Copies of this chain bind each other. A is one copy, B any other.
Amino acid sequence: MTTVTQLVFHRFSRLGEAERQVLSGAMTAPQKFGRHCELVNSGGSLPALHMVLSGIAGRYDCLQNGQRQILGYFFPGDVFDVRACFSQSTDSRVQSLTTVQMATLRWHDLLASAKRSPGLVREFWRLVAVEDATTRQWQLNAGRRSAIQRLSHLLCECFARLSAVGLTEGDGCLLPFSQTDIADALSLTPVHVNRTLMELRAAELATLKARRLTILDAPALYAVAEFEPAYLQLKAAPFEARSEVTATSPSTWRPSATPA
């Protein structure tokens, strides 16, 4: 449970203590899922938000021949399906890519306190805006960039997002999904992702090995990717944020540390 509090702190540091309490109060206890579980059963009952607490999830859709396209990742601290609470429509699915702990936010609890907590409402809208901006970056990425640029951009983004919730250590972080999960996000084949990872390694830009990402040359990697972290609306640049974050809270837990 301290993990949840830490996440709320990291991701919702713009909020005051009172509003963070409202948020915590609306959250259910964490649920645990294995890999490749459907996280949002679309026959769902009440509208609800979902927050990833540990592990990585992905929104995805499939073609008729079974090919999967991952439309977005969700890291710890990410809230998804904000919009589904307004529009009811769920035409895409969310899957756990690793073991995942997830909490549900009772929509009606949040609505009830919306008047008293305008900052909370604003914060959720900000998260939606970030998700949309990220989607646009992914469209740009898959559409117009080469394999090495796509991969570089994705790794930059992953590192930056994880650093925002205190899950990086120095120039590295855990990134425990498979190369197939990367391929389906970048619209490449797993084979080519593998080759491109080697290329990044050879160029001494970054390594991804044994589920651990290490940024070897951030400026060069950013340049290759044309990565401009502004769309993520982080409070600090990834590398500064990292040191600040580790100072204020020891990283006593990590994604998918102890599955069910």
Contacts and interface: CB of A to CB of B under 8 A. Distances in A.
Nearest to A59: B136
A144 B231 contact: no
Given A69-B139, A140-B61, A187-B142, A129 B226 contact: no
A143 B69 contact: yes
A111 to B, nearest CB: 14
A86 B125 contact: yes
Interface stretch (A1-9, A87-95, A96-104, A239-247): A87-95
B136 A138 contact: no
B69 A144 contact: yes
**Copies held by the complex:** 2
A133 B226 CA distance: 27
A132 interface: yes
B145 A142 contact: no
A79 interface: no
A87 to B, nearest CB: 4
Contacts of A143: 69, 142, 187
Contacts of A87: 125-126, 128-129
A41 to B, nearest CB: 19
A91 B140 contact: no
A83 B132 contact: yes
